[in-house]
Amino acid sequence: MSRYISLIAFLVIVLGGGLVIGSLTPPNDWFAQLSKPAFNPPGWLFGPVWTALYIIIAIVGWRWWQRNRSGVSMKLWYGQLALNFLWSPVFFSAQQSGGALVIIILLLITIFAFISTTWRQDRLAGWLFVPYGAWVAYATLLNASIYALN
């Protein structure tokens, strides 16, 4: 039973954290006025994508927390979550697309480092982070393009 309580806790922390960050730092007038690349997705897409990704992030974190709470992989998991939650306030609230670009590049590196360190011991965790890495790679390109255009 405690396994499932800890899974619920991970889901609440990750989904709840994402929801709080998203509601406190939504796209604003500054963002609406920015020049964006042609491949900028419609705004409605971000909510469903991030919800699915946060569920995956929580499940993977929970799996590793059960396996090794203080190992390198778990530290990378914590690091990616901190960087993930930091990006929106820097981009939308502080209106610092360059600073956000640095954060998202570090996030992408951390995601790939997590995949690399978990791959041999828990291939499922590694595979579950692949869509997250792909989305963040796309978001990195989007952030870099917005920075360059503005």
Task: State the CATH number of the domain containing residue 91.
Answer: 1.20.1260.100
For 62, the domain range is 2-149
State the average pLDDT for the chain.
Answer: 96
Q: What is the pTM of this model?
A: 0.95
Number of separate domains in the chain: 1
61-83 burial code (b ≥16 CB/10 A, e <16): bbbbbeeeeeeebbbbbebbbeb
* CA–CA gap between residue 87 and residue 90 (Å, rounded): 5
Tens digits of residue pLDDT in 17-59: 999 999 999 999 999 999 999 999 999 999 999 999 999 999 9
Is pLDDT above 80 for 1?
no
The pLDDT, as a whole number, for residue 3 is 87
